Amino acid sequence: MRLLSRKATCNSHGQDSSYFLGWQEYEKNPFDEITNPKGIIQMGLAENQLSFDLLESWLTKNPDAAGFKSEGESIFRQLALFQDYHGFPAFKNAFVEFMSEIRGNKVSFDPSHLVLTAGATSANETLMFCLAEPGEAFLLPTPYYPGFDRDLKWRTGVEIVPIQCTSSNAFQITEAALLDAYQEAQNRNLRVKGVLVTNPSNPLGTTMTRNELNLLVSFIEAKGIHLISDEIYSGTVFSSPDFVSVMEILKARNYENTDVWNRVHLVNSLSKDLGLPGFRVGAIYSNDDMVVSAATKMSSFGLVSSQTQYLLSAMLSDKKFTKKYIFENQKRLRQRHRMLVSGLEKAGIKCLNSNAGLFCWVDMRHLLKSNTFEAEMELWKNIVYDVKLNISPGSSCHCTEPGWFRVCFANMSEETLELAMQRLKAFVTEYSSTVLGQNMSSSHQSIKNSRRRSITKWVFRLSFDDGRDREPDQR
Q: Could you give the residue numbers annotated as active site?
A: 145, 230, 232, 272
Cα–Cα distance for residue pair 357/397, rounded to 1 Å:
16
Q: From 413, 406, 437, 435, select the one nearest 344 (Cα to Cα).
A: 406
Strands 41-42 and 389-390 come out as parallel
Question: Which amino acid belongs to residue 336?
Answer: R
- Please spell the DSSP secondary structure of 239-306, one letter per residue: SSSPP--HHHHHHHTT-TTSHHHHTEEEEEESTTTSS-GGG--EEEEES-HHHHHHHHHHGGGSPPPH
The β-bridge relationship of strands 389-390 and 137-141 is unpaired
Greatest distance between any 2 Cα atoms in the chain:
120
C-alpha closest to that of 85 among 61, 114, 59? 114
- Which helix (H) or strand (E) is 96 found in, with range? helix 89-102
d(CA 172, CA 350): 18
Helix axes 319-346, 306-316, angle to 10 degrees: 90
The residue length of the chain stands at 475
d(CA 12, CA 375): 25
- Give the pairing type, strands 114-117 and 282-286: antiparallel
Q: How many CA atoms lie within 13 A of 421 on its CB side?
A: 23
Q: At what angle do helices 319-346 and 89-102 cross, to 10 degrees?
A: 50
Strands (E), 100-246: 114-117, 137-141, 159-163, 192-198, 226-230
- Cα–Cα dist 293/115, whole Å: 9
Amino acid at 428: V
Alpha carbon distance, N-terminus to C-terminus of the chain: 86
Could you tell me whether strands 137-141 and 192-198 are parallel, antiparallel, or unpaired per DSSP bridges?
A: parallel
H/E segment holding residue 72: none
